[in-house]
Amino acid sequence: MKLVIAAAVTFASLGLATAARAAGDADAGKKVFSKCAVCHTAVAGKNGLGPSLFGVVGRPSATVAGYNYSDAMKAANKTWDEATLTAYLTDPKAAIPGNKMAFAGLPNPDDRANVIAYLATLK
């Protein structure tokens, strides 16, 4: 019985650690965002080579005013939630084939979770 309880506590702890990691660290994400800032800004209404990422979390794809999106992004019909951003930041070309973003993606899952947490603060 003690072994079963210990196993349940261990699995529960692992689940909490995974959930905490999935939530990300916005401060760490701000540092990771420096990779994105080569093309994107975190300022509302200020596009760079890529669209502004201010308010991106929860926003429909290809909707930033004044930015010329690729046909692939216009047709993607995505909402930038955690799952969609995770897939896109893992491999942008696979997530939306034909998009014009040259960035290869963030291979580290913690970096992705952290940058998404940071993006969520941009409101």
Domain architecture of the chain: domains with CATH? 25-121 (1.10.760.10)
Q: Taking the model in full, what pTM does it have?
A: 0.81
- E strands in 1-123: none
Q: What is the mean pLDDT of residues 7-16?
A: 40
Q: Which amino acid makes up residue 55?
A: G
- Tell me, rounded to whole angstroms, the distance of Cα 47 from its chain centroid: 18
Whether the pLDDT of residue 3 is over 70: the answer is no
Q: Which amino acid makes up residue 66?
A: G
pLDDT per residue as tens digits for the range 50-95: 999 999 999 999 999 999 999 999 999 999 999 999 999 999 999 9
CB atoms within 10 A of CB 51: 23
Residue among 12, 10, 30, 31 at smallest CA distance from 120: 30
